[in-house]
Amino acid sequence: MNRWCQMMLWTLIAGCLGICLSGCKPQTQQASQSTPESAAEVPAQRASADDGIIVAMGDSLTAGLGVPEAQAYPARLERKLRADGYPFQVINAGVSGETSSGARTRTEWMLTLKPDIVILETGANDGLRGVDPGVMQENIDAIVKTLQAQNMVVVLAGMQMVRNLGETYTQAFAQVYPHIAQEYDLILMPFFLKDVGSKPTLNQDDGIHPTTAGYEIIVENLYPYVMQAIEKLRDRP
């Protein structure tokens, strides 16, 4: 088993035990899932009347586990948008250890943030725990339906799994994201960790969570999809 697969297996075991990879206390993780508003530490209204709101909803890859909050991708994305003249507030609504089931339970809370655009990054922990891809698809499907019912533009960030879970599982997992994106006419980023995943120099010691340099690449890769979302937002009725 290569180092990447070993790290994936280790993370699965740690996740099942409820242990945060950064060494955070398990009860902190549990509290953050039950009270997402305190976990995200974000305002529920626009910073100014002219601001648009983007909610970055996801797991530890969104939360920025192991890096300063200002270096996680939501904060980096907001700085880049504002530097380019787009007045958007990007809210970090990432919860470490969360599966698609957890994200589904948080959807109604997230609506209170009144986002214009939602970047949905979920499913990595489902894959690490071997959750049935059909269950994951059902959860993401429900999330997207809820968001679109409120006329929100959704960017779906896809994930890929290592093949040690079996070819059948890997293929079924990979098909979930394009299937949902096509069904609901979503903007699809095929792989959230493109150019970053499995590269030791761009990941922390756990081999899974990006470093600040890794997040810089993620934002560069994500940015064109966010631009598509902004255009779609402008064109909506």
* Per-residue pLDDT reduced to its tens digit, 84-126: 999 999 999 999 999 999 999 999 999 999 999 999 999 999 9
pLDDT at position 151, please?
95
Rounded-to-integer distance, Cα 109 and Cα 84, Å: 30
List the domain boundaries for the chain: 3-235
Q: Is 60 a catalytic residue?
A: yes
Residue 27: pLDDT band with limits 50, 70, 90: very low
Instruction: Give the active site residue among 32, 59, 126, 209.
Output: 209
Tell whether the model's pLDDT for residue 138 goes beyond 50.
Answer: yes
Residue 9: pLDDT band with limits 50, 70, 90: very low
207 or 224: whose pLDDT is higher?
Answer: 224
Global pTM reads 0.81
Instruction: Give the active site residue among 51, 101, 141, 206.
Output: 206
Instruction: Give the active site residue among 32, 60, 96, 100.
Output: 60
CA dihedral sign of residues 184, 105, 60, 147: positive
Q: Is 179 a catalytic residue?
A: no
CA dihedral sign of residues 202, 203, 209, 211: negative
Residue 152: pLDDT band with limits 50, 70, 90: very high
Instruction: Give the bridge partners for 53, in sequence order.
Output: 89
Topology of domain 3-235, CATH:
Rossmann fold (3.40.50)
Give 167-204 as a DSSP string.
HHHHHHHHHHHHHHHHHHT-EEES-TTTTTTT-GGGB-
Residue percentage of the chain with pLDDT more than 90? 74
Q: Is 84 a catalytic residue?
A: no
Residue percentage of the chain with pLDDT more than 70? 79
Tell whether the model's pLDDT for residue 77 goes beyond 60.
Answer: yes
pLDDT at position 50, please?
61
40 or 99: whose pLDDT is higher?
Answer: 99
Non-local (6+) Cβ contacts of 138 within 8 A are none
Provide mean pLDDT across the span 177-193. 98
